Chain A
Amino acid sequence: MQVIFEKSVKERATAQYPKLDVEAMDLASLTGGVLRENDAEIPELSELDVVRHFKALAKRNVGVDDTFYPLGSCTMKYNPKVNEKAAAMEGFTSLHPYVEFYRAQGTMKLLSHLEELLCGITGMAAFTLHPMAGAHGEWVGMSIIRKYHEVNGGKRNRVLVPDSSHGTNPASAAMAGFIVESVATDSNGEVEIDDLKSKLGDDLAGIMLTNPNTLGVFETKILEIAKMVHGSGGLLYYDGANLNAIMGKCRPGDMGFDVVHLNLHKTFATPHGGGGPGAGPVGVCSKLEQFLPTPRIVKNSEDDSEMPLIWSDDFPQSIGRVSGFYGNVGIAIRAYTYIRILGEAGLRQASEDAVLAANYLRVKIGKLFPVAFDRMCMHEFVVTPGELLKNGIHTLDIAKAMIDRGVHPMTIYFPLIVSEAMMIEPTETESVEELDRFIEIMEDILDVAKNDPELIKTSPHKTVVKRLDEAKAARSAIVTAGFN
């Protein structure tokens, strides 16, 4: 397919702006002569050309609305349409971030209430909605931990992450100025307690955990781990990527976590947008509240019925500003709508159904492919190609064969500690019929892989492009379209 620049036709009309309604002045003198030499080479197309181009691109893309999308650790649940309607209300979208506070009371009240609801769901004392993605939340959370130790006089610069952790964990800790050390996983798929014990110490700032972890396994010794880490003066960071397993079932705060980030675009059904925007709110226990980023929404100390809420920078211990304005407000509005519609029972039901569906698939798929750490799982589980490896069939081949069969592949080659990992997360919004269809697809792939391995190894066959040469892409590094 042509890139949009190749479709451009010189002088073809596009969207028109109104005529200048003031007397035109000389551009060279208005700009002091600081003018660009040539116009930017933006395509020249009719509105219909543009609409058709992107319609064609949409057809070459697949979302949750199209098909089953069991991408592990990404929680690709259905994104309710009412959330989109809510965020698109003009009273929300047309608000400039620098309006006087009295004009923004509706949005501020909603944000403030969302902070409260997230506290209830996680068992934390206070939240910030500023972080704009999960990784951004991780960095904010780790910055808070850093500040806490600084204020308390501890020279603690070491952070532990399990070897099963998301890659963002060590990357975020490093960006927050920490040295990162890995903790091993035991034969049950949980943190290896002895290894953890040997890595405690008075230079330990804390540990970053995902619970359930990336194997879909609940860390059963979490209360003991919390005690150990706290006992050595460290703090516990909760990576909320997998919160969809435990809403209303247990809370990070009750497990002993001090800092939590959530992914509104996973657990709270806001769309992922093909790579964002998401949102990564961060919650903290009460002793860390003073370090949250600024500005924060607070009650107006002056009695003003028109302006009960204001943004305040008056938090001297804060880690400071972390986003241009107030975070991805439009995403917060969607998540708020979702939480209000589900309510407490609905959220608990969502987690119960997500975990039940995952276990159903684990048992059924487990008959076809070996499950790594086969035990009761939470919202996701990991399998491997097993015997198929002998036929030269790898995880990547199975993923590509799934594409031909019309479902989006699971997360592959992650977590790193399971060789040839395939991480499957069905979510609560897929029906049993859909889960059964997926099982049939996996049966079919296994069958074909045994009888005609080449067919699997060369898949996909039915897509607009076949397997792409990633090495060539990295080598040639063509990242922009050339000029026609």
Chain B
Amino acid sequence: MSYSPHVDADKRKMLDEVGVTNINDVFADIPESIYNPNLNLPPALSEQEALEMLKDFEELNLHPARSGNYFLGGGAYNHHIPSAVAAITSAPEFYTAYTPYQPEMSQGMLQAIFEYQSVIARITGLDASNASMYDGGTACYEACAMAVKQTKKTRILFDSSLNPHYRELLKSYGENVELDMVEIPYSKVASDSIDSISEKMDNSFAAIVVQNPDFFGRIVDYSKLAEVAHKNKALLIMVVNPVSLGILKTPAEMGADIAVGEGQPLGLSLNYGGPYLGFIASTKKLLRKMPGRIVGETVDSDGKRGYVLTLQAREQHIRREKATSNICSNQALCALSALVHTSLIGKKGFRQVSELCIQKANYAKNTLGAIDGAEIVFDGPHFNEFVLRISRPVEDLFAAMGRSCEPGIRLNRWYPELEDCILVAVTELNTKNDIDAYARRLRDWLCK
């Protein structure tokens, strides 16, 4: 099957106009020795056959029966997405458009991105944002690159309570351009990390990166660390879960210079890891160091308000190797989803979902932590996830909980000392019944 409309007469007409007799004449520039290779592809399918095949793949994926039985987080979260999100973002005027290079015929996407940037600024409390990054991890690196450019220093400081994948990314990216990524161990008491990071800090660092809530779900007020960073002429970069900012003190209120994070919890499906959405917000002072597309407000020749891609002198198509970043295509449609999602849940809903997460997660934490043979590893306030230690091997837990439940994420691959622990996440989709059923099954198994 093909989506090409050309019948033989059309092709003949075009070949005649070009002045050749055969399609091979059009490709005469390709060396004969490599022309018309065999690609070893399977035979073409009709749409009907393709859908059957996809169904087979789909059925090989095994899900817990109900989404409430998912207790997985670690940077991607299962949230309710209002039905109107897909209905709105599936408008082909949005999704079949390219990057808005021609503003007069792209005002829709440009205004939407401008509104998205505004929402990100309002959530984080900071001044400015861009049209989006690939995901939370790459946004985290781009924030570090901003700090390096701003401070003209090349060292970055963080501890191991930062999302392990983000730390891996920082190392892959940083290695190329010889950035010194300095990692220190996490603190058992979350708020002690302020002291441990401060002790390590000196004026050789471009930035401190902290995550709040951290990878273990722990909440800390990092205001003092912002002071320490600024005293050393460095920036404070905060990695945040946008849902937590329904209630938690904002990066701006803590004195952070840049906030980044994974935008997936704002209305994007889990999609086995992507497409997601990296968001980035900064103080006004750092705007011109920001990577990627930025939409700005202006007026047309009649003085009417309109939007354009702006501050393009930072970007690769003008600055080439001197650009702030190489990013051009980003995750615009995902940014649109995040904007639509937050608009639908509204100011009240944004706070409500945040409260539901923290209340239910703490209920789960208290319930599971009270079981004989299970304990909560870290004290102190937690947002939507927590680390649970169990007295029997984690390996066996997954078999014991069965196919109907995903009880958490194993931590052994990043934290050997937590090999007998799992990271448990709770959102508004996990009902009290789901949590109680989890607790019952865990108790039965641990007491066996």
Contacts and interface: CB of A to CB of B under 8 A. Distances in A.
Contact of B329 (A86, A133, A172): A133
A469 B118 CA distance: 21
Contacts of B262: 324
Interface stretch (B12-20, B197-205, B439-447): B12-20
B313 interface: yes
Contacts of B362: 25, 30
A59 B140 CA distance: 35
Contact of A359 (B26, B168, B274): B26
B14 A473 contact: no
A63 B94 contact: yes
A90 to B, nearest CB: 8
Contacts of B117: 479-480
A429 interface: yes
B193 interface: no
A91 interface: yes
Interface string A198-237: 0000000000000000000110101100000000000000
A295 B276 CA distance: 18
Contact of A3 (B14, B35, B111, B269): B111
A109 B30 contact: no
A463 B320 contact: no
The CB with the most chain A CB atoms within 10 A, among B82, B114, B269, B296, is that of B296
A404 to B, nearest CB: 9
Given A4-B343, A27-B358, A104 B39 contact: no
Contacts of B247: 27, 31, 35-36
Given A62-B93, A97-B272, A132 B134 contact: yes
Contacts of A166: 317
A41 interface: yes
A324 B138 contact: yes
Given A39-B347, A107-B61, A474-B310, A277 B18 contact: no
B248 A35 contact: yes
Interface stretch (B43-51, B151-159, B229-237, B368-376): B43-51
B91 A55 contact: yes
A15 B351 CA distance: 12
Interface in B19-68: 19, 23, 26-31, 33-47, 50-51, 53-63, 67
Contacts of B356: 17-18, 20
Contacts of A474: 296, 310-313
B61 A97 contact: no
Nearest to B327: A135
A13 B31 CA distance: 66
Contacts of B248: 31, 34-36
A378 B3 CA distance: 19
A189 B342 CA distance: 49
Interface in A321-374: 321-331, 333, 337, 339-350, 352-353, 355-357, 359-360, 362-364
Interface string B77-116: 0101010101110111111111111111111110111110
The CB with the most chain B CB atoms within 10 A, among A64, A251, A343, is that of A343
Interface in A401-451: 403, 408-409, 411, 414, 428-432
Contact of A86 (B51, B95, B138, B220): B51
Interface in A169-209: 170-177, 180
Contact of B45 (A31, A41, A341, A378): A341
Contact of B37 (A106, A251, A364): A251
Contacts of B310: 470, 473-474, 477, 479
B196 interface: no
Interface string B283-305: 01001000001111111111010
B378 interface: no
Contacts of A56: 108
Nearest to B90: A84
A62 B101 CA distance: 11
Contacts of A55: 88, 91
A355 B27 contact: yes
A74 B313 CA distance: 21
A399 B101 CA distance: 11
The CB with the most chain A CB atoms within 10 A, among B33, B109, B320, is that of B320
Interface in A238-282: 246-251, 254-255, 265, 269, 271-278
A65 B177 contact: no
B63 A91 contact: yes
Nearest to B127: A480
Contact of B2 (A12, A133, A349): A349
Contact of B349 (A5, A15, A428): A15
Contacts of B279: none
A106 B98 contact: no
Interface string A31-68: 11111110111111101001101111111111111100
B2 A346 contact: yes
B115 A5 contact: yes
Interface in A117-144: 117, 120-121, 123, 132-136, 138-139, 143
A265 B274 CA distance: 15
A325 B17 contact: no
A363 B19 CA distance: 9
Interface residues of B, number: 207
Contacts of A132: 134-135, 138, 274-275, 331
Given A94-B67, A356-B26, A477-B287, A16 B327 contact: no
B178 interface: yes
Interface in A454-475: 458, 460, 463-470, 472-474
Contacts of B87: 51
Given A104-B61, A467-B104, A274 B94 contact: yes
B352 interface: yes
B318 to A, nearest CB: 7
Contacts of A323: 134-135, 137-138, 169, 273-274
A395 interface: no
A18 B428 contact: yes
A86 B178 CA distance: 42
Given A95-B270, A109-B60, A322-B169, A470 B47 contact: no
Nearest to A93: B269
Given A86-B54, A135-B328, A476-B298, A274 B115 contact: no
B340 to A, nearest CB: 6
Contacts of A175: 173, 176-177, 325-326
A64 B97 CA distance: 6
Contact of B72 (A96, A168, A341, A431): A96
B186 interface: no
Given A278-B329, A480-B118, A468 B80 contact: no
B417 interface: no
The CB with the most chain B CB atoms within 10 A, among A89, A172, A277, is that of A277
A302 interface: no
Contacts of A135: 316, 326-329
Given A103-B61, A276-B333, A326 B112 contact: no
A151 interface: no
Nearest to B363: A22
B344 interface: yes
B185 to A, nearest CB: 20
The CB with the most chain B CB atoms within 10 A, among A62, A92, A139, A349, is that of A62
26 contacts: A14-B346, A15-B345, A22-B359, A37-B253, A47-B82, A59-B108, A66-B93, A82-B51, A93-B269, A95-B63, A96-B72, A104-B61, A123-B37, A135-B329, A167-B315, A176-B177, A220-B31, A273-B94, A273-B333, A274-B109, A326-B273, A329-B271, A465-B103, A467-B300, A470-B298, A479-B114
Given A57-B111, A174-B321, 10 more contacts: A18-B431, A22-B359, A30-B362, A80-B3, A100-B398, A175-B325, A246-B30, A248-B36, A331-B275, A480-B118
Top 7 A-B pairs ranked by shortest CB distance? Answer: A325-B273, A343-B44, A275-B332, A61-B108, A106-B60, A63-B96, A273-B333
